[in-house]
């Protein structure tokens, strides 16, 4: 007898028409024989057998799993913001509402390393997940907890349903899960996994197909979001390029090109990991000057008689309810409307040019030291608009940036 072989596309864990209780018993005997190194009464599905081999090679303990302390609150918030999945979180949740509405399953979104970023569901099943360590911040990659829908979907690259004793760690045998990878539509790299999990008795063969469809929908939403962001950046960059004499191009923060002038067209430019305003060397272009744009950079190919110019930030905070930030460089200027909180942060950095730690900013913004998670989250959002104009550790303006705040009581400059 052979446990069903792998099929193309999303593969349900249970063959159509099989009794889940009988199948769980079969899987249990297969698992026990595999862990004991004995002849198995049936072969596990290919995706499961390959996963078991990887996990055994990694030395994961079938009784306790691997050692992983999970993420602290600050790292969890940082990974949420950096995952690229927050943009489609609502789509993922809405698309799987029907699966978790009965209260028997939870919805989980994990990042590309297998860390649980978000989860939702009824308190009863969430409490069950708590006992398994299936909590926000926990690592559910294969090297941590063995075969499971999150870690195995990340490794296999396709939607996976894992049922009962197909899980490598024994304490997970009363559980079933279906996960599908969500890819960055620009690059094809996996951003994370959307997963539906619950008690083994809740298994349904269509769940894995539904999860895969929702993941594909999220990828389409990501593609639309990126296109809108590029259009917005192009509307700012195109007039600037038209005023320049030399070769230049505009790119978003990931290097995707939105406009070019006197430069050979290309879809993407390889950018430094943490670029800042000023002179840099870029592959295929040589020495270039970077000027900040909202959500990207204006890249000017440097000439021998040019030198990198600085960037000026002018925060008009005369009306606390409607602050305005103007960013000026050698090629022109643009304006954004920061939130009052972001204006407060920028003003704080102007007053402290050496920089502030997250704890120091928490104390000055909120009067307490323990709001560092909120500070980091706000800084991440602000840096999405201002990019390399802000540096971290400590938080401060990047080199080459001059900042000024205009208030009713006078101007403060940095």
148, 163 contact by CB (below 8 A) = no
68-72, 161-165, 350-354: least confidently modelled range: 68-72
Q: What is the pLDDT of residue 117?
A: 96
Given this model, what pLDDT does residue 413 score?
56
Handedness of CA 350, 354, 359, 363 (dihedral sign): negative
- Report CA Rg, the chain: 26
User: Is the pLDDT score of 350 beyond 80?
Assistant: yes
CB-based contacts of 68-75 (< 8 A; 24+ apart in sequence): 68/138, 68/139, 68/144, 68/145, 70/115, 70/135, 70/137, 70/138, 70/139, 71/115, 71/137, 71/138, 71/139, 72/137, 73/137, 73/373, 74/358, 74/372, 74/373, 74/376, 75/137
Q: State what percent of residues in the chain have pLDDT above 70.
A: 94
- Lowest-pLDDT range of 144-158, 209-223, 299-313: 299-313
Residues 6+ apart with CB under 8 A from 57: none
| Domains of the chain and any CATH numbers | 20-224 (3.30.450.40), 311-413 (1.10.10)
Looking at residue 277, what is its pLDDT?
85
- What tokens appear for 265 in the block? 């067209």
Task: Give me the mean pLDDT over the 153-163 stretch.
Answer: 96
Virtual torsion, Cα 77, 96, 171, 125, nearest 10 deg: 90
Question: What phi and psi, each to the nearest 5 degrees, are found at residue 292?
Answer: -70, 145
> With pLDDT > 90 as the criterion, what percentage of the chain qualifies?
63
> Residue 222 — very low, low, confident or very high, per pLDDT cuts 50/70/90?
very high
CA 391 to chain CA centroid, nearest Å: 20
Report the C-alpha dihedral over residues 215, 70, 387, 259, rounded to 10 degrees: -30
- pLDDT surpasses 80 at 95: yes
When pLDDT is averaged across residues 395-410 and rounded to a whole number, the result is 83
- Mean pLDDT of all residues in 184-207: 94
Predicted confidence (pLDDT) per residue in 253-298, tens digit: 889 999 999 999 999 998 887 788 888 889 889 899 999 998 899 9
> Model confidence over 17-60: pLDDT tens digits?
788 999 999 999 999 999 999 999 999 999 999 999 999 999 99
Q: What is the pLDDT of residue 374?
A: 86
The residue-averaged pLDDT of 142-155 equals 96
Q: How much is the pTM? A: 0.78
Encode pLDDT of 227-255 as tens digits: 999 999 999 999 999 999 889 999 998 89
Over the chain, what is the mean pLDDT?
Answer: 89
| Band of residue 391 on the pLDDT scale cut at 50, 70, 90 | confident
pLDDT-based confidence at residue 197 (cuts at 50, 70, 90): very high
More confident residue, 350 or 81: 350
**What dihedral do alpha carbons 313, 326, 338, 390 form, nearest 10°?**
-30
- pLDDT for residue 412 is more than 80: no
pLDDT at position 309 is 59
Of 143, 137, 142, give the one whose Cα is nearest residue 179: 142
Q: By the 8 A CB rule, do 5 and 45 touch?
A: yes
What b/e string do you get for 325-344 counting C-beta neighbours within 10 Å, with b at 16 or more? bebbbbbbebeeebeeebbb
CA–CA gap between residue 388 and residue 273 (Å, rounded): 10
User: If you average pLDDT over residues 70-98, what whole number do you get?
Assistant: 88
Residue 409 pLDDT grade (very low, low, confident, very high; cuts 50, 70, 90)? low
- pLDDT confidence band for 120 (50 / 70 / 90): very high
């Amino acid at each position: 007898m052979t446990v069903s072989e792998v099929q193309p596309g999303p593969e349900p864990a249970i063959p159509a028409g099989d009794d889940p209780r009988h199948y769980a018993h079969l899987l249990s005997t297969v698992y026990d024989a595999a862990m004991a190194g004995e002849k198995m009464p049936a072969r596990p599905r290919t995706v499961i057998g390959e996963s078991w081999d990887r996990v055994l090679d990694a030395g994961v303990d079938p009784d306790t799993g691997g050692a992983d302390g999970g993420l602290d609150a600050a790292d969890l918030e940082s990974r949420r913001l950096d995952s690229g999945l927050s943009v489609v979180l609502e789509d993922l949740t809405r698309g799987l509402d029907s699966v978790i509405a009965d209260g028997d399953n939870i919805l989980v979104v994990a990042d590309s390393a297998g860390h649980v970023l978000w989860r939702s569901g009824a308190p009863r099943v969430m409490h069950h997940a708590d006992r398994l360590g299936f909590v926000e911040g926990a690592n559910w990659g294969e090297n941590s907890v063995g075969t499971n829908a999150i870690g195995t979907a990340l490794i296999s690259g396709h939607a996976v349903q894992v049922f009962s004793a197909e899980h490598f760690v024994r304490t997970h045998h009363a559980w079933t899960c279906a996960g599908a990878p969500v890819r960055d539509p620009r690059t094809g790299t996996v951003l994370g996994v959307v997963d539906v999990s619950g008690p083994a008795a809740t298994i349904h063969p269509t769940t894995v197909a539904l999860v895969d469809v929702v993941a594909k929908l999220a990828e389409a939403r990501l593609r639309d979001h990126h296109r809108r962001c590029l259009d917005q950046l192009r509307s700012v960059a195109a007039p600037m390029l038209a005023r320049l004499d030399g070769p230049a191009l505009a790119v978003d923060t990931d290097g995707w090109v939105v406009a070019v002038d006197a430069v050979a067209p290309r879809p993407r430019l390889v950018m430094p990991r943490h670029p800042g305003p000023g002179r840099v060397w870029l592959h295929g272009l040589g020495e270039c000057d970077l000027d900040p744009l909202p959500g990207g950079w204006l890249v000017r190919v440097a000439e021998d008689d040019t030198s990198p110019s600085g960037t000026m930030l002018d925060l008009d905070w005369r009306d606390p309810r409607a602050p305005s930030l103007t960013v000026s460089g050698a090629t022109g200027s643009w304006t954004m409307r920061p939130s009052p909180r972001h204006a407060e942060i920028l003003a704080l950095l102007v007053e402290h040019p050496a920089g502030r730690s997250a704890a120091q900013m928490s104390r000055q913004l909120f009067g307490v030291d323990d709001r560092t998670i909120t500070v980091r989250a706000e800084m991440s959002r602000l840096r999405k608009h201002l990019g390399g104009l802000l540096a971290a550790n400590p938080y401060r303006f990047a080199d080459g940036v001059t900042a000024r705040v205009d208030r009713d009581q006078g101007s403060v400059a940095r």
